[in-house]
Amino acid sequence: MNTTAWASFRRDLHQNPELGFKEHRTAAKIAASLRRIGCSVEEGIAQTGVVGTLVNGPGPMIGLRADMDALPMTEATGKPWTSQIDGVFHGCGHDGHVTCLLATAEHLAKTRAFCGTVVFIFQPAEEGHGGGRVMVEEGLFDRHPCDRIYGFHNMPLLPLGTAAVKSGPMMASFDELRVTFHGEAGHAAAPHLARDPVLAAADCAVALSRSPARRVDPHAPSVLSVTQIHGGTTHNVIPAEAWLGGTVRALSAEARQILEEEVTRISQAIAAQHGVECSVVYDRRFPVLVNEPEATAALRAAAGQALGPNALMDDFRPLLAAEDFAFMLAACPGAYILLGQGDDTHHAMVHNPGYDFNDQLIPLAVNVLSAAVSQGL
Ligand SMILES: [Zn+2]
Ligand SMILES: [Zn+2]
């Protein structure tokens, strides 16, 4: 495989990042590469998603998925291939994921070291917009009924050449909450004549933040972070309204359910205590990402074969970050692996302005994904 050529391909994507559901240039490059490689190609699924198919006789249908979108943030790597688009940056390495999956397609098309069908799934809008859900809703697995799917993500916290994959929950669910308190405006010097929504919001932020520690089983990791509070316009007026917003993450459906109920219960109790009204919006976004046991065993074997027997980092704990590959895993058995990319020059975490995908990961990812396909089910 021509690693240098694929590294330049990746750097071109990096210079031309595109946000979720707007990955038109990226999609066109993916489709052109898949056709050159000899895949049949389906475009326009979930707007900018692309699916390539490679057949080698009878056998299982195995899906491999990469995400395509960039983040709305400004790059500070100082690399020669720095983003040319203001405020848009491949800060999560999806430029690298696209490249790894295309290089895998090229490798498998050349070696034919598999039986059956490989489906290369290029998914738009992973960064909070649920492109994975839209692909499933638009019939991805009806048209490509995969027996198994694999997903992957680079991980700067793990050294290059290592990997982490576990059976069961691997990434958290992700929900958004917004609680609005409706009171009565008044003079700040006469709070008894007003009904203060600001103090209610402040109390609620404290109570919500500590609810996981007292309501959820300590063995079931979860977190509730209040990340914004808004209300008021000046120092001497109690406003009529204040709101807070935040996010809930959990590694089990039970913990998620408890916290959803707690948000409403606590907000209403605090509103009553302050004599104000409240309205709660709880938006369920991504489910828990759960690795299926047999697919996980297969992916572990593939990673061990490709990276060496000591490459699997079994002390790596599941992340409370979310990943919309969870929607695909809810529809089709499979597993998701983190591939280490950390070295002396790639230590910045994803979503950091100094982050860059490590091109040395490309051949390693190709070997892991190809081994996973080659061994069948
Ligand atoms: Zn990300
Ligand atoms: Zn990502």
**CATH number, domain at 231?**
3.30.70.360
Intra-chain end-to-end CA distance of the chain, in Å: 25
Calculate how far, in angstroms, residue 328's C-alpha sits from the geometric centre of ligand 2: 15
Give the ligand whose atoms come closest to the C-alpha of residue 127. Answer: 1
Question: Of the residues 246, 271, 286, which one is the last residue of a structural domain?
Answer: 286
Percent of the chain clearing pLDDT 90 (strictly above): 97
CATH number at residue 132: 3.40.630.10
Question: Of the residues 286, 321, 345, which one is the last residue of a structural domain?
Answer: 286
Verify that 19 and 141 share a domain, yes or no: yes
pLDDT of residue 285: 95
Verify that 238 and 191 share a domain, yes or no: yes
Calculate how far, in angstroms, residue 323's C-alpha sits from the geometric centre of ligand 2: 7
Q: What pLDDT band is residue 154 in, cutting at 50, 70 and 90?
A: very high
Contact 120, 105 (CB under 8 A): yes
Give the ligand whose atoms come closest to the C-alpha of residue 72. Answer: 1
pLDDT of residue 315: 92
Verify that 345 and 224 share a domain, yes or no: no
pLDDT of residue 319: 87
For the cut 90, the answer to whether the pLDDT of residue 231 exceeds it is: yes
pLDDT of residue 19: 98
Give the ligand whose atoms come closest to the C-alpha of residue 96. Answer: 2
Calculate how far, in angstroms, residue 19's C-alpha sits from the geometric centre of ligand 2: 12
Verify that 295 and 314 share a domain, yes or no: yes
For the cut 90, the answer to whether the pLDDT of residue 164 exceeds it is: yes
Calculate how far, in angstroms, residue 155's C-alpha sits from the geometric centre of ligand 2: 9
Range(s) of the domain holding residue 311: 3-171+288-374
Give the ligand whose atoms come closest to the C-alpha of residue 154. Answer: 2
Calculate how far, in angstroms, residue 92's C-alpha sits from the geometric centre of ligand 1: 4
Contact 288, 256 (CB under 8 A): yes
d(C-alpha 3, C-alpha 8), whole Å: 9
pTM of the entire structure? Answer: 0.92
For the cut 90, the answer to whether the pLDDT of residue 1 exceeds it is: no
Percent of the chain clearing pLDDT 70 (strictly above): 100
Under the phi-then-psi rule, with left for phi > 0, alpha for psi from -120 to 50, and beta for the rest, what region is 173? beta
Question: Of the residues 264, 286, 308, which one is the last residue of a structural domain?
Answer: 286
For the cut 90, the answer to whether the pLDDT of residue 188 exceeds it is: yes
Verify that 191 and 280 share a domain, yes or no: yes
Give the ligand whose atoms come closest to the C-alpha of residue 132. Answer: 2
Report the helix count and the strand count for the chain, using DSSP H and E: 10, 15
Calculate how far, in angstroms, residue 100's C-alpha sits from the geometric centre of ligand 1: 17
Give the ligand whose atoms come closest to the C-alpha of residue 155. Answer: 2
Nearest 5 degrees, angle CA 279-CA 131-CA 94? 120
Q: Name the average pLDDT for the chain.
A: 97
pLDDT of residue 219: 92
Verify that 134 and 180 share a domain, yes or no: no
Calculate how far, in angstroms, residue 171's C-alpha sits from the geometric centre of ligand 2: 12
Give the ligand whose atoms come closest to the C-alpha of residue 71. Answer: 1
Q: pLDDT digits over 14-37, tens only?
A: 999 999 999 999 999 999 999 999
Q: Is the dihedral of CA 347, 350, 352, 354 positive or negative?
A: positive
Calculate how far, in angstroms, residue 126's C-alpha sits from the geometric centre of ligand 1: 7
Verify that 211 and 241 share a domain, yes or no: yes
Q: pLDDT digits over 368-377, tens only?
A: 999 999 999 9
pLDDT of residue 294: 98
Q: Is the dihedral of CA 99, 107, 110, 295 positive or negative?
A: negative
Give the ligand whose atoms come closest to the C-alpha of residue 341. Answer: 2
Verify that 51 and 147 share a domain, yes or no: yes
Q: pLDDT digits over 286-341, tens only?
A: 999 999 999 999 999 999 999 998 999 999 888 899 999 999 999 999 999 999 99
**What is the rounded average pLDDT of the residues 83-96?**
98
Verify that 13 and 133 share a domain, yes or no: yes
d(C-alpha 77, C-alpha 65), whole Å: 27
**What is the rounded average pLDDT of the residues 121-137?**
96
**What is the rounded average pLDDT of the residues 82-89?**
98
Verify that 181 and 294 share a domain, yes or no: no
Among residues 373, 376, 374, 368, the alpha carbon closest in space to that of 100 is found at: 368
Helix (H) / strand (E) element for 363: namely helix 361-374
**What is the rounded average pLDDT of the residues 105-128?**
97
Calculate how far, in angstroms, residue 243's C-alpha sits from the geometric centre of ligand 1: 27
Residue 325, strand partner residues = none
pLDDT of residue 330: 96
Residues whose beta carbons lie less than 5 angstroms from ion ligand 1: 92
For the cut 90, the answer to whether the pLDDT of residue 102 exceeds it is: yes
Calculate how far, in angstroms, residue 371's C-alpha sits from the geometric centre of ligand 1: 26
Give the ligand whose atoms come closest to the C-alpha of residue 325. Answer: 2
SS3 90: coil
Calculate how far, in angstroms, residue 5's C-alpha sits from the geometric centre of ligand 2: 23
Calculate how far, in angstroms, residue 196's C-alpha sits from the geometric centre of ligand 1: 38
Domain count, the chain: 2
Calculate how far, in angstroms, residue 241's C-alpha sits from the geometric centre of ligand 2: 36
Verify that 177 and 240 share a domain, yes or no: yes
Verify that 117 and 13 share a domain, yes or no: yes
Calculate how far, in angstroms, residue 87's C-alpha sits from the geometric centre of ligand 2: 17
